[in-house]
Amino acid sequence: MSDAADQIFATLKQSSQSGAPLYLQLRKSIEDAVNRGLIGPGDALPSERDIATKADISRVTVRKAVQDLVKGGILVQRHGSGTFVAPRMERVEQSLSRLTSFTEDMARRGMAVRSAWLDRGLYAPSPDEMMVLGLSSSELVARVSRLRIANDTPLAIERASLSASALPDPAGIGSSLYAALELTGNRPVRAVQRISAANLGDADARLLEVPPGVAGLHIERISYLASGKVIEFTRSIYRGDAYDFVAELRLTGPSEEGRP
Ligand code: 16G
């Protein structure tokens, strides 16, 4: 067992006089060790049995402390390989004034981008899609749903809907939706984006590799062509611990006051 792990138990011994339940004391010792950098992101935690033997407490107690830390996002468990200190997220700062694609945003930061497909195909449109995209019930909608991953970290789930006439072959877009739209002269030139807070449900949390219930950002983007026609209706869930959306604000002059 590493020196760092020994230090966790040294802290545990010091705090064992506090009278707090054992699992809380162990949880605090592990948390302190992470905060003080004694064990760092990606480091493996000793096995439950090792911790129990070393700290002379039951495995049930160890499991309870570890589960709490997994729920809190301090530790991550990978099936078959054990428990690790969660990787520290490099936050991505994203301007709210440029209409860029995920691929462009990540490439500009030198990050390697990939996507995992969740869905792609032509469907009968939902009432929301019909309303936003101006489709009739006899037309089809193209759906492109992807888990967006940068430097091997899943950052967002994006579910895009477009009219099938603008994207007749959603499976053929390659790695970038905007690049595919550009080829047919359908790349949006303007968008309205609505951002709201959301607690992640189980399925989304699993995809984004965060504990269920943690904070995320729900983003809805409606994008337009130069003609004013809506081209894209995308609903996304972004990781709250990964993104800072930044907008520049200016004092409006008297001539601009009252304008929308
Ligand atoms: C961005 C957009 C998304 C768009 C995607 C295209 C937000 C919240 N979302 O992630 O609406 O569909 O870029 O990216 O900014 P792609 O060209 O890499 O597929």
CA dist 166 and 164 (Å) reads 5
How many separate domains does the chain show? Answer: 2
- If asked whether residues 54 and 99 sit together in one domain, one would say no
Probe residue for ligand 1, chosen from 221, 232, 237 as the CB with the greatest number of ligand atoms within 8 Å:
221
Of the three residues 85, 100, 132, the one that is the final residue of a domain is: 85
Output the residue whose Cα is nearest ligand 1's atom 13: 101
- Pocket residue to mutate for ligand 1, from 93, 111, 145, 158, most atoms within 8 A of Cβ: 158
Q: Is 77 in the pocket of ligand 1 (CB under 6 A)?
A: no
Do 152 and 237 lie in one domain? The reply is: yes
Judgement on whether residues 7 and 123 belong to the same structural domain of the protein: no
Question: Are 141 and 242 members of one domain?
Answer: yes
Check if 94 has its Cβ closer than 6 Å to any atom of ligand 1: no
Decide if 256 is inside a domain. Answer: no
Q: Is 260 a domain residue?
A: no
Residue 44 lies in a domain: yes
The partner residues of 105 in beta bridges, in order of sequence, read: none
Q: Give yes or no: residues 54 and 161 share one domain.
A: no
Ligand 1: which residue has its CA nearest to atom 6?
101
CA-nearest residue for atom 16, ligand 1, is 176
Q: Do 73 and 85 meet the contact criterion of CB atoms below 8 Å apart?
A: no
What are residue 94's DSSP bridge partners? 245
Say if 139 falls within a structural domain. yes
Dist. CA 138 → ligand 1 center (Å): 27
* Residue after which a domain boundary falls, among 85, 118, 151: 85
* Shared-domain flag, residues 129 and 151: yes
CA distance 241 to 154: 12
CATH of the domain at 22: 1.10.10.10
Q: What is the pLDDT of residue 196?
A: 97
Atom 4 (ligand 1) nearest CA: 101
Do 130 and 64 share a structural domain? Answer: no
Residue 223: what pLDDT?
98
In a domain, 254, yes or no: no
Q: Cβ contacts of residue 10 below 8 Å, gap of 6+? A: none
Q: Does residue 109 belong to any structural domain of this protein?
A: yes
- CA of 74 from ligand 1 middle (Å) equals 29
Of 85, 108, 131, which residue constitutes the final position of a domain?
85
Q: Sign of the CA dihedral 147, 229, 136, 174?
A: negative
**H-run or E-run covering 230:** strand 230-239
pLDDT at 242: 86
In a domain, 257, yes or no: no
Question: pLDDT tens track of the chain, all 260 residues?
Answer: 456 567 677 666 665 556 788 889 889 888 888 878 888 888 888 888 888 888 888 999 999 999 999 887 788 887 778 898 887 777 888 888 899 999 999 888 888 899 999 999 999 999 999 999 999 999 999 999 999 999 888 999 999 999 999 999 999 999 999 999 999 999 999 999 999 999 999 999 999 988 889 999 999 999 999 999 999 999 999 999 888 889 889 998 776 655 55
Same domain, 50 and 116: no
Domain limits for position 140: 92-246
Same domain, 40 and 145: no
Are residues 111 and 78 part of one domain? no
Shared domain for 154 and 190, answered yes or no, is yes
The set of residues, in sequence order, having a beta carbon less than 8 Å from that of 51 and lying 6+ positions away, is 5, 9, 26, 45, 57, 62
231: CATH: 3.40.1410.10
